[in-house]
Amino acid sequence: MTQKLTDTMFTGTLASSKLTGALGSNDGSALTGVGGSGATISASDPTISTNPSGGVGTLWTNSTTGNLYCCTVATAGANVWVNIGSGFGHAHDTSTFQGEIAGFTSSGHTEIANYSKTHRISLINEGTSNEHGTVTVGRYGPAGQSSSTHGYASGGYASSTTSNIIDRFAFATSSDSTDHGDINVGRAHGAGHSSSTHGFVSGGYPPDRNHIDKFAFSSNTTSASHGTLTLARQNDNGGTSSTTHGFNAGGNTSFGAGPRVRIIDKFTFASIVATSDHGDLNSDRTFTNAVSSYTDGYCCSGNTSESNNFGGTAAIDKYSFASANTVSGHGDLAQARWQGVGLSGTTHGLVVAGSAYPTLGESNLRLTQSDRFSYASNTTATVFGDIHKGVNIAAGSQY
């Protein structure tokens, strides 16, 4: 005899082996144990503040777009939801400078020529970078900026002349860069900074410059002047960003070889006001690699000698965005280097590629190695994969 079950008759767990035929139409919201640590169906995407009760492995389906996400990091308010379909379009916080998914290097210089490619490297999983597109003009020494959806590379050297071009590329899909207007004047080796709405370039060459340029992420126009630094400098690449201010650390006061500096400058994103001295690094250095956490700036490695042929350091200096004169040592990179790219994650910083002179008199060695260090602890960084081609003096951005 066939018996029809009702809600009052069934109170326990029904083994799947006892079910035959097709199940009726259901929304699936009450199902448990279906892949990973449970599944949620919603008309919208998860966000970093979507805290899954099932932890890592929890699945989330967007019933509007059909995209499927998996939680790979379960930290309250800072969860990572990875799109396991296309591999792009992960859920991330769009209000901050730090990246949760991937970092990017744009242009730079190889052993033979200016480089014309953008590369994508995971901030989560160790591995080798992937080519992400082509820049409008191959050049080295551009400054990098990040909006919530796009990366930017501003200025640099193209052949023997400085460029004023701002390149723009999408984070979510592999695509070539487009021209996004110009900085005020062609210059290279400046520091890049980003607010939620604008990109900034401070310092640069030639000649020795103390200018700060500001451009909108939303429109393709020439940048506007945004004040000056306390000290003209270039070759620093030490640009960090809080939610309200930009910081420029290190550099040198003349092109190439010459005195290195340790001054940290601070300027506000909101208005043109006098830049302030925010303290000093632990050592004079140039061609540093800058990383930003939510609360602190990190000045990683760099060249400490007045000669460009040697003097690379592995030291990481940490300074508070909120308080001046707070510089402290924060461990070392796994590889001493300079002219690399700093990438800012939510919990860790990466320093990618760059230059190394193993001993005095040897040729410049362009690195492929990526080093990763924790914001929370003062320890030596660990090797975290490679960029697939040795490159230096490139722009960095992240999302």
Tell me, what's the pLDDT at 71?
Answer: 87
Domain end point (choices 40, 64, 91): 91
Does residue 233 form part of some domain? yes
Segment 192-216, tens digit of pLDDT: 999 999 999 999 987 668 999 999 9
Q: CATH number of the domain that 217 lies in?
A: 2.120.10.80
Asked if residue 30 and residue 52 are part of one domain, the reply reads yes
pLDDT at 292 over 80: yes
Tell me, what's the pLDDT at 127?
Answer: 85
Domain end point (choices 37, 61, 91): 91
pLDDT band for position 78 (cuts 50, 70, 90):
confident
Asked if residue 341 and residue 258 are part of one domain, the reply reads yes
HEC secondary structure over 36-75: CCCEEEECCCCCCCCCCCCCCCCEEEECCCCCEEEEEECC
Phi-psi region of 303 (alpha: psi -120 to 50; beta: other; left: phi over 0): beta
Asked if residue 51 and residue 138 are part of one domain, the reply reads no
pLDDT band for position 359 (cuts 50, 70, 90):
low
Domain end point (choices 38, 66, 91): 91
Residue at 102: amino acid letter: A
pLDDT at 6 over 70: no
pLDDT at 23 over 60: no
Tell me, what's the pLDDT at 207?
Answer: 66
Neighbours of 70 (CB within 10 A): 20
Tell me, what's the pLDDT at 315?
Answer: 96
Model pTM score: 0.78
pLDDT at 1 over 70: no
pLDDT at 87 over 80: no
Asked if residue 207 and residue 85 are part of one domain, the reply reads no
- Mean pLDDT rounded to a whole number for the chain: 86
Tell me, what's the pLDDT at 19?
Answer: 58
Tell me, what's the pLDDT at 238?
Answer: 78
Strands 39-42 and 59-62, by their bridges, are parallel
Does residue 6 form part of some domain? no
Tell me, what's the pLDDT at 38?
Answer: 65
Q: Which stretch, 21-35, 228-242, 311-325, has highest mean pLDDT? A: 311-325
Q: Specify the higher pLDDT residue, 322 or 10.
A: 322
Q: Which stretch, 109-113, 157-161, 294-298, 337-341, has highest mean pLDDT? A: 294-298
Residue at 388: amino acid letter: H
Neighbours of 384 (CB within 10 A): 21
Asked if residue 80 and residue 201 are part of one domain, the reply reads no
Give yes or no for a contact between 195 and 216, defined as CB atoms under 8 angstroms apart: no
Residues 366, 362: Cα–Cα separation, whole Å: 12
Does residue 12 form part of some domain? no
HEC secondary structure over the chain: CCCCCCCCCCCCCCCHHHCCCCCCCCCCCCCCCCCCCCEEEECCCCCCCCCCCCCCCCEEEECCCCCEEEEEECCCCCCEEEECCCCCCCECCCCCCCECCEEEEECCECCCCECCEEEEEECCCCCECEEEEECCCCCECCEEEECCCEEEEECCEECCEECCEEEEEECCCCCCCEEEEECCCCCECCEEEECCCEEEEECCECCCCCEEEEEECCCCCCCEEEEECCCCCECCCCEEECCCEEEEECCECCCCCCCECCEEEEEECCCCCCCEEEEECCCCCECCEEEECCCEEEEEEEECCCCCCCCEEEEEEEEECCCCCCCEEEEEEEEEEECCEEEEECCEEEEECCEECCCCCCCCEECCEEEEEECCCCCCCEEEEECCCCCECCEEEEC
Asked if residue 129 and residue 80 are part of one domain, the reply reads no
* Average pLDDT, integer, range 45-73: 87
61: containing domain: 22-91
Q: Cβ neighbours of residue 362 under 8 Å, at least 6 residues apart?
A: none
pLDDT band for position 327 (cuts 50, 70, 90):
very high
Tell me, what's the pLDDT at 360?
Answer: 47
Q: How many domains does the chain have?
A: 2
Asked if residue 71 and residue 195 are part of one domain, the reply reads no
* Average pLDDT, integer, range 131-142: 94
